[in-house]
Chains A and B, each alone.
Chain A
Amino acid sequence: MTDDTDKLAAEMQGLKPSKAARTRGMAAAMAAFDSEFIAETAASSESASQAATQKKSDTSQGLAGAPRPTGHTTHAARVQTFGSLMMSKLNNFFNLSPRAAMMGGSCMAALIAAVIILPNHDYSVDPLEPIAPVNVPITEPKTSEPVISNPAISDPVTIEPVITPEPKTDIVVPKVDATPKEPVISDPEISAPVLETPSVKTADGEGKTDASVTEPPTADIAVVTPETATPSNVVTIERRIIKTPGQTVERVVPAIPRVETRRRIKTPARTVERRIPPVTKTETRRVEKADGTFETISELVVVQPESVEYVTTPAEYETYQETVIVQEASTELVTVPPVFETVRETIELQPDGSTKVIASEIVASPKPSEGASSGITSVGELRNKLGVVDSGAAYFSEEIASHSDVIAPSPVMADEIVVTASKRKGSARKIASAPIAPPPPSPAFERSRDASVTSDGKRSFTLPEGARLVERAVPAVTKQVPRRVVKTPASTTERVIPAITKDVTFRIQKADGTYEDVVETIVIQEAYTEIVTPPPVYETVMETIVVQPKSVEMVIVMPDGSIERIESPVVPPEPKPKPQPQAGQLTAGDYDDVLNPDLYKVYLDKVLQGPLGQRGLPYVDADRRIDIRILDRAGKAVPMADITLETPGGKRMFPLRTGADGMAYLYPYFDGLKAGVSVKVSVDGANSVTKTLTQSQISNGGDLVVNLQTDSQAFEKMDLLLTIDATGSMADEMRYLQSELKAILRRVEDANPGIDIRTGLIVYRDEGDAYVVREVPFTGDIDAFKSSLDKQNAHGGGDMPEAMHKAMNAGLKMAWRDDALKVNLLVADAPPHNRYISDTWEAGLLSRTRGVHIVPVAASGVDKTAEFLMRSMAQITGGRYLFLTDDSGIGNPHAEPTVDCYIVTRLDGLVTRVLNSLVKGVRVEPEAGEVIRSVGNYRSGKCILDQNEQAVSPVNVNYKKR
């Protein structure tokens, strides 16, 4: 931001209404609020008053959180309320402004109060006494729950079934008559009401006749009914008991493999050298001798010298089966619900109120509901699903234990997992230690540990009484991941294309007047050599990656069986000595998201559905991009054409400017485009052309070609800004640029004769460092610029994010030339701080409107957020994403980019090519010898995917704008 905008921001933020206006406005707002909600609050006040009558002590309606007591029943309050009502009515009737209504309503209310209410008011009545509850009859509270509280139940003679006032619909309790019937239980499993236990005391464990239900825990009582014969002290109850308690089981979901048929090269392509013998012919000539006579001589003439032909035998392929992991193995928690059964018990009620169970029988065994057939609803079903045949004591057999752990309520021991799934006593068994996540340390223990860290960093602590220290081996966690590797790298071969010849028969007249046919071989096309670059051959291999190495950890088994972890001090690995970069040694790849919009969408979908989706990153819908292509009368691209967008209503949206390739890009969703938006294209010296976007273009994207009656002019100037993260991690890159930039610029000048290049510099660090942003203005003096660049060094930083947003905004303030190609080479490895992601992205948007191409160079170990921002900024500004690779072995490890294909060359060559591409408007590819490595199916910046590796976008993507 400039000083002016900062000043404007400060002034705007300091705006305040006058105190009088604020006071008046807030009072009006509160009055309007009272008016709006008066009906509801009056009703709620009445309800509250009723409650207050029953609870004499509760008079605190005005407490925070409770509805505001606007329905005061004092006369003064009624006048106020009436005023508010009048205000509301006036407002509604005359459609007045709220303030006018308020004042009018208040005046009328005051008038009425003065004339009617106040003179007739009996002031002997305490004005604060609530009026509403005085004559309100106290009604019995209705209860929706069936309550059995009849004291007669303790009387053996007068026992009666309880008639609940509002029985639930699924239970019908008949009234008692001479021959009471069995109650109808429509669905006792689902919605049996919970009855209060004092009404019927069941004597668990007493008088049980069925050994199978020994000591069953009581789930709930289904219903109470009297004995069918005569009312007596003997009743029959049915109650639901838990047959098998519910459990939570951790189940391992095995990986889902899929066998895929792939093709690989059986015999690679071969190039064979073949000798082509010389082509000769015998020519007959007449030679004049010294004596004036002629002699006919024949001589051998070489039509085509001996040559060598290179014949390439195509590669032979074979298909093979490969197992691909579609879904990694994982664990899931399965909740097995408890199994119930209904027991009918005959109970005799004793005179003292106690009960005695006379008989007990199981009347209903539960059956799994049909709806649950697809899931696991019982332990038995789980066992069946897991393939356990034996249902005996070893409830969880060995093979199950190897891939499933029951989360039991009992404590998990230090070096083992105790399975207590079976209801049989003593069936708990030990299984091999499995790499499960240990429980987090308890806060109390955490505190005790913290308090006992010694000065030398070692931890000492006192074991709680009864606890013991156990060493636990944590096995290595490995993962099989598929990886595509280059089986046969791309190679460049030279092939000689033989000459194309044709035998032609000439008829020659001899001296004697006769004719002779002479056959002569004519060369139609000379032999030449052709450079052939077969693409690399890939294969997918499964690699075992150690996610977490094998380790040992100490745990404390607490007296209550819980486990506390003791974290081992983390020893950072010894840093490896780094070789210093030399000229031309840094290697890099590039990825052009502009050329791969569909793959860019896949990338966005993956990133924004992941953890980064919460960071307010932009979604640029490149897959529906509208490519505006401006051509001159000769069909050549027109750079520097101004494009202005207007809404159908004539409002200006934003401008764009074409690059050297005559292209500008629109993103229908991101740019908020609608059918009817006009695109006006103009360039100096030609009439402007306006096109209107159609709904089809909005929905599907595509090309929008605009022809101008002009002759295009190539860029003759370039402003190159280097924006460099100068924190400690960027030392290699800084040194590299210091040594290579001059050579890069010279090569660009050589490739574009006459181009006027200016360079500028912004180096940045972070808040709290020696500086945050430093600028070197644009200059055409490359030596002076190099001198400025050489003075910079990379220090500071500390945390990962840096002040990228400030650097990008500073770049916008540089004095860019309007008619120059504008390039901002952003060299960084870290994102901005989270709170400045928006600012950084906005600098990218501003760059777009200013026609600045952002070319990010992602340096050592670039962060994923930084990569996303860099690629997005390159996308919308027509730049290209460059990234350093590890091929040189120089510098810090570089993050593997999440791009689909690229070729690796030296960084200086890549930067030169990208700049040349931007100046010329045509993509410049590396020479064959420059390519160090190739990844994916790279075709001039576009990634061509095989049929077997179609990019898959996550389904159900539904983004909201940030």
Chain B
Amino acid sequence: MVETEQDEELAARAASGDADAFRLLLGRHYDRVFRVTYSVLRDQSEAEDVTQDIWAAMPKKLRSWRGDAKFTSWLHRIALNAAKDSLRRSASQARVVSGYAEVEALSREASLDTAKRLSWLQAALDTLSEDLRATAALTLGEQLNFAEAAEILGVAEGTVAWRMSEIRRLLKTLASNDNGFGQEALA
């Protein structure tokens, strides 16, 4: 297995049953999916759950991957959609797996360590609307250019540009606001 192998090649091989290729993709991009889902969900454990669900569903989804787009673009789109779906679902979704609470408790414990660091980030994300958070996740978090982000988000480049202006404006508002939690972003 060559470490420098392209994602698209790995995905094609994984789609045909190559577990090593899938494992490599998993290692490369597991955190990427988490970053995107966290940016939208603003909750560590929720984002971890959704990330896990996304990757568990990935083998089946890979079968439908046509390889005509960048793998990461495809993955970003999946992550964003899953995160948005999760937002819409009830937070108190019934858990069917016994013993899950224990595992979840471990996650929460870990997330507490980073809670302090995340306070500004949390406030910043709270300032932004869902669309702006998704845009920020791609342009700022994943360093995609406007055109790539626009394609994933299904909007025009001009819309991404305007959203970036809005993000900048709202963050400025946040910075100038003493209580540090800004105001609700535009819908």
A positions within 8 Å CB-CB of B: 1-2, 4-5, 7-9, 11-13, 15-22, 24-26, 28-37, 40-41, 44, 64-65, 67-68, 70, 94, 96-100, 102-104, 616, 618, 651-655, 670-673, 838-839, 841-842, 845-846, 848-850, 961-962
Contacts and interface: CB of A to CB of B under 8 A. Distances in A.
B157 A12 contact: no
B79 interface: no
A97 B148 CA distance: 30
A903 to B, nearest CB: 33
A799 to B, nearest CB: 22
A99 B157 contact: no
Nearest to B112: A18
A22 B52 CA distance: 8
B47 A17 contact: yes
Given A2-B172, A4-B168, A29-B59, A846 B111 contact: no
B151 A44 contact: no
Contacts of B6: none
Contacts of A846: 161, 164-165
Contacts of A18: 44, 48, 106-107, 110-111
A22 B31 contact: yes
30 contacts: A1-B168, A5-B140, A8-B121, A12-B35, A13-B35, A15-B38, A16-B34, A17-B31, A18-B107, A20-B106, A21-B48, A21-B52, A24-B103, A25-B30, A25-B52, A28-B55, A29-B52, A32-B55, A68-B18, A99-B97, A103-B99, A654-B161, A670-B157, A670-B158, A842-B146, A845-B146, A846-B161, A846-B165, A850-B165, A962-B147
Given A12-B39, A25-B55, A848-B161, 5 more contacts: A5-B140, A9-B140, A15-B34, A28-B55, A100-B95
Contacts of B45: 21
A527 B23 CA distance: 91
**8 A-B pairs closest in CB distance:** A98-B56, A18-B110, A68-B19, A12-B141, A672-B156, A654-B162, A4-B171, A25-B52
A106 to B, nearest CB: 11
A97 B157 CA distance: 35
Contacts of A849: 158, 161-162, 165
B88 interface: no
Given A2-B172, A33-B19, A8 B56 contact: no
B60 A36 contact: yes
A344 B1 CA distance: 54
B131 interface: yes
Nearest to B120: A11
A40 B140 CA distance: 41
A15 B141 contact: yes
B97 A104 contact: yes
Nearest to A647: B155
B60 A838 contact: no
Q: Which of the four size classes fits the interface of chain B?
A: 35 or more
Contacts of B156: 653-654, 670-673
Main secondary structure of the interface of B (DSSP, over half): helix
Contacts of A99: 52-53, 56, 97, 100
B122 to A, nearest CB: 10
A67 B147 contact: no
Given A8-B140, A26-B26, A653-B159, A41 B31 contact: no
Interface of B: 1, 14, 17-20, 22-23, 26-27, 30-31, 34-35, 38-39, 44-45, 47-48, 51-53, 55-60, 63, 95-100, 103, 106-107, 110-111, 118, 120-121, 124, 131, 136-137, 140-141, 143, 145-148, 150-151, 155-162, 164-165, 167-168, 171-172, 174-175, 186-187
Contacts of A848: 158, 161
A12 B135 CA distance: 12
Given A15-B35, A20-B110, A25-B30, A98 B155 contact: no
B30 A26 contact: yes
A287 B176 CA distance: 94
Give the one of A12, A13, A25 with max B CB within 10 A: A12
Given A11-B120, A25-B52, A37 B145 contact: no
Given A25-B48, A97-B53, A5 B161 contact: no
A1 B145 CA distance: 13
Contacts of A12: 35, 39, 121, 136-137, 140-141
Nearest to B95: A100
Contacts of A26: 26-27, 30, 55
A670 B147 CA distance: 10
A11 B17 CA distance: 36
A845 B52 contact: no
Contact of B56 (A44, A102, A961): A102
B31 A845 contact: no
A838 B148 CA distance: 10
Contacts of A2: 168, 171-172
Contacts of A845: 146, 157-158, 160-161
Contacts of B58: 29, 32-33
A616 B147 contact: yes
Given A653-B156, A845-B146, A846-B161, A5 B167 contact: yes
A4 B96 contact: no
Contacts of B44: 17-18
Contacts of B186: 652
A673 B148 CA distance: 18
Given A21-B107, A22-B31, A4 B97 contact: no
A11 B157 CA distance: 24
A64 B1 contact: yes
A655 B156 CA distance: 12
Nearest to A64: B1
Nearest to A37: B17
Contacts of A616: 145, 147
Contacts of A16: 31, 34-35
B171 A653 contact: no
B172 A4 contact: yes
Contact of B48 (A1, A17, A64): A17
Nearest to B55: A29
Contacts of A41: 17
Given A8-B171, A16-B31, A65 B1 contact: yes
B132 to A, nearest CB: 11
Nearest to B63: A36
B78 to A, nearest CB: 13
Contact of A20 (B107, B159, B161): B107
A655 B175 CA distance: 24
A616 B151 CA distance: 14
Contacts of B30: 17, 22, 25-26, 29
B158 A653 contact: yes
A2 B140 CA distance: 12
Nearest to A16: B31
B151 A961 contact: yes
A645 to B, nearest CB: 9
A631 to B, nearest CB: 24
A65 B44 CA distance: 36
B175 A4 contact: yes
A96 B97 CA distance: 9
Give the one of B55, B100, B155 with max A CB within 10 A: B55
Contacts of B111: 18
Contacts of A35: 59
A358 to B, nearest CB: 56
B173 to A, nearest CB: 10
Contacts of A5: 140, 164, 167-168, 171
Give the one of B60, B103, B143 with max A CB within 10 A: B60
Contact of A32 (B18, B57, B141): B57
A16 B51 CA distance: 11
Contacts of A65: 1, 18, 20
Contacts of B23: 30
Nearest to A620: B157
A104 B100 CA distance: 12
Nearest to A652: B186
A16 B160 CA distance: 25
